[in-house]
Chain A
């Protein structure tokens, strides 16, 4: 097959204006951290330093929580739902207005292809704010009783894989329900959250309703453990999720946790194979596989194994790995050196444990953090690459004979975030959807997200839902 060569098609980065350093966003303004310590955010595609970012210490977190508390008591809880909604509509509109700028900035800071930040992340961010804006004056119909109340101050800690999208999943329902927030973006991807702070200023959002504290794990811990916090929402690893569950034990804090996954993507022999292969590729190579609900375990029915593998490999040969700002790029940079190390280590373990490793030929840029799309075959359920979340572009392939065996293998994991099913038979789709112990089941599709659609896990993938009416309930309590 002829592979067409593409001329470079880089998106201009002139639209973004990255400052040399950023303060913390507390009480409506940018402030320097109390102890003045800073860290760097780098472009993972080039290792170029983008900006100096403030590291919030315990005192900074305390100030942010106090600002959120004041804003909750004096302003936000006194505002009508209608007016809260209007602020959120304003924010949604400004995000749409500044969409290209946000997309380019996201790709620069995160390493994800501009095609994804432009067509998936940022449109969904705006959609989330738009959706929850409309809930703000309709809370009595949310299902939390006739007079539901917000919790108060929400502490929100988000990951680096979908920086602004995760911010929107957290902030939009929290504000709609009447809470104020202190949000900590991930250490490696703070820039769009800081630009969002400017958007809050442009929207004239009352000071203290949204506070952004940047920093690493210690900042997150100080925020979650702060006694002035009423509600904790976390997206990230299961390991940290368990620490948070322990830290809120014995307190009145409510927690929602959206954690890791090891999703099975199950292809039956009657599936439309080309569509299934597209879905498998999207399932694990979307966003470099930095997706908690990624379809990282491919379960193929034995009778079509050879066919599926051949088509999968051929398709992977056409993926373009490289400059995230190039509009033709399919796979961008791994977000950090640390994550690249983890992906490399687990891939080496995969080989050492006896699985067969394959990647298409592809040239990787010299600077930056890169990992080629990788497929492991001959994987057993006991292999670490079939059990642990790799959070990278690495697919483990297993086989099955019967639907019951597929269910058994798919559910054989402590996680339960998502699953995929590919078959032409309607009754089998519905049966599989019932059997799979996962919070989201994609049938003949994968990695679809929508603000109206509840998302979240079973078992050790966490608890609580984000999105839809269910996502709103996480920020409301029924008693007065």
Chain B
């Protein structure tokens, strides 16, 4: 009996809760670690990046205004849906990163668990980084963290799922929205994650995922005046490119998470630095009296 012919997927961008192709009409070949063809992915253009920022900005009031409890629940549900796609993620991580099936499975386990870890911070981070300030006068004075707004995320190039989760979750858990540029060579887990996000309760536009070349869209995101912060993790190891992006980011004083010299070991326990990087501290004063 003949083997069944598989139905192959068209890999697209994820912008504003929808799955458009690149407006440029371009795509590029994605191969596995051994160079064998896996898929054609959309090659996002500068215009796609700008569209993604517009979609992200629209999602800011709803997501940043949601209760912390609600954000925590929504993000926890993402992990639930990821669990259902466990096998698909493991296939993609194994193929893209050239890992054995068992190693890829362990990475997917860790990625889902990390998402759960971050989701739990939604309604706790304010108590850890906020404060009541004992000022010398009759005033009630407190400081609370607030999301900075739209965050551009250059996802790690090597670790296509665990690395991605480790840079994306800390953005959205604090109430920010994200425009993610997935690993250029290994974009498939990011696209699958976008399908997870679309079928969980994350509102459209809160996470937008672009695939393509770093050089095509990263400069646009770094220079964009309606982006509040940028994570340069995906430029790790390319100091000159990272410097150019940081220079562009200075135009509107984006909060910058710098590119490391080399891609770090994402299996290490994360701290709170990445959540805190996208939080502003607001201090409120009011007189006390009768």
Chain A positions within 8 Å of B, measured between CB atoms, are: 127, 143, 145, 238, 241-242, 245-246, 249-250, 257, 259, 414, 429, 433, 438-445, 448, 450, 452-456, 458-460, 462-463, 465, 468-470, 478
Contacts of B247 in A (CB 8 A): 246, 249-250
**0/1 interface trace, chain B 249-275, chain A, CB 8 Å (1 if under):** 111110100000000000000010100
Interface flag for B38 (CB, 8 Å)? no
Contacts of A478 in B (CB 8 A): 271, 273
- Closest 3 CB pairs between A and B? A250-B243, A245-B250, A249-B246
Contacts of A250 in B (CB 8 A): 239-240, 242-243, 246-247
Asked whether, in the complex, the Cβ of B282 is within 8 Å of the Cβ of A441, the reply is yes
Instruction: Find B253's partner among A241, A440, A448 (CB 8 Å cutoff).
Output: A241
In the complex, chain B residues 133-149 whose Cβ is within 8 Å of any chain A Cβ: 133-137, 139, 141, 143, 148
CB distance from B59 to the nearest CB of A (A): 17
Instruction: Find B134's partner among A246, A452, A463 (CB 8 Å cutoff).
Output: A452
Contacts of B255 in A (CB 8 A): 463
Contacts of B282 in A (CB 8 A): 433, 438-441, 458
Interface flag for B183 (CB, 8 Å)? no
Asked whether, in the complex, the Cβ of B129 is within 8 Å of the Cβ of A143, the reply is yes
- CB<8 Å pairs between A and B, sample of 21: A127-B136, A145-B271, A242-B250, A245-B250, A249-B243, A249-B247, A414-B252, A440-B282, A441-B282, A441-B283, A441-B284, A442-B285, A452-B136, A454-B281, A454-B283, A455-B283, A456-B281, A458-B282, A463-B253, A468-B131, A468-B133
Asked whether, in the complex, the Cβ of B285 is within 8 Å of the Cβ of A242, the reply is no
Asked whether, in the complex, the Cβ of A433 is within 8 Å of the Cβ of B284, the reply is yes
A22 to B134, CA, bound (A): 39
Known: A450-B136, A452-B133. A443 touches B253 (CB 8 A): no
Known: A429-B286, A450-B133, A470-B131. A460 touches B281 (CB 8 A): no
Asked whether, in the complex, the Cβ of B136 is within 8 Å of the Cβ of A454, the reply is no
Contacts of B157 in A (CB 8 A): none
Asked whether, in the complex, the Cβ of B281 is within 8 Å of the Cβ of A465, the reply is yes
Instruction: Find B143's partner among A414, A459, A470 (CB 8 Å cutoff).
Output: A470
Contacts of A462 in B (CB 8 A): 253
Chain B positions within 8 Å of A, measured between CB atoms, are: 128-129, 131, 133-137, 139, 141, 143, 148, 228, 239-240, 242-243, 246-247, 249-253, 255, 271, 273, 280-287
A352 to B250, CA, bound (A): 33
A398 to B281, CA, bound (A): 28
Contacts of A459 in B (CB 8 A): 228, 252-253
Contacts of A259 in B (CB 8 A): 253
Asked whether, in the complex, the Cβ of A450 is within 8 Å of the Cβ of B141, the reply is yes
Instruction: Find A452's partner among B135, B246, B284 (CB 8 Å cutoff).
Output: B135
Q: What residue in chain B is nearest A448 (Cβ atoms)?
A: B285
Asked whether, in the complex, the Cβ of B253 is within 8 Å of the Cβ of A245, the reply is yes
Asked whether, in the complex, the Cβ of B253 is within 8 Å of the Cβ of A445, the reply is no
CB distance from A428 to the nearest CB of B (A): 12
A440 to B285, CA, bound (A): 8
A171 to B122, CA, bound (A): 35
Instruction: Find A453's partner among B148, B271, B283, B286 (CB 8 Å cutoff).
Output: B283
Asked whether, in the complex, the Cβ of A249 is within 8 Å of the Cβ of B136, the reply is no
A470 to B131, CA, bound (A): 9
CB distance from B112 to the nearest CB of A (A): 26
Contacts of A127 in B (CB 8 A): 136
CB distance from B133 to the nearest CB of A (A): 4
A342 to B281, CA, bound (A): 32
CB distance from A453 to the nearest CB of B (A): 4
Asked whether, in the complex, the Cβ of B283 is within 8 Å of the Cβ of A249, the reply is no
Asked whether, in the complex, the Cβ of A242 is within 8 Å of the Cβ of B253, the reply is yes
Asked whether, in the complex, the Cβ of A439 is within 8 Å of the Cβ of B285, the reply is no
CB distance from A315 to the nearest CB of B (A): 19
Contacts of A470 in B (CB 8 A): 131, 143, 281
A241 to B253, CA, bound (A): 8
A203 to B206, CA, bound (A): 54
Q: What residue in chain B is nearest A455 (Cβ atoms)?
A: B283
Asked whether, in the complex, the Cβ of A443 is within 8 Å of the Cβ of B286, the reply is yes
Instruction: Find B250's partner among A143, A249, A445, A465 (CB 8 Å cutoff).
Output: A249
Contacts of B135 in A (CB 8 A): 448, 450, 452-453
Q: What residue in chain A is nearest B64 (Cβ atoms)?
A: A434
With a 10 A CB-CB cut-off, give which of A249, A448, A452 has the most chain B CB atoms.
Answer: A249
Instruction: Find B285's partner among A143, A249, A441, A458 (CB 8 Å cutoff).
Output: A441
A301 to B285, CA, bound (A): 22
A452 to B131, CA, bound (A): 10
A303 to B178, CA, bound (A): 41
Asked whether, in the complex, the Cβ of B131 is within 8 Å of the Cβ of A469, the reply is yes
Contacts of A438 in B (CB 8 A): 282
Q: What residue in chain A is nearest B261 (Cβ atoms)?
A: A252
Asked whether, in the complex, the Cβ of A445 is within 8 Å of the Cβ of B273, the reply is no
Contacts of A448 in B (CB 8 A): 135, 137, 139, 141, 285
A454 to B284, CA, bound (A): 10
Apart from A250-B240, A453-B133, list 11 A-B contacts with CB within 8 A. Answer: A242-B250, A249-B243, A250-B242, A441-B283, A442-B284, A448-B139, A452-B134, A454-B143, A460-B252, A470-B143, A478-B273
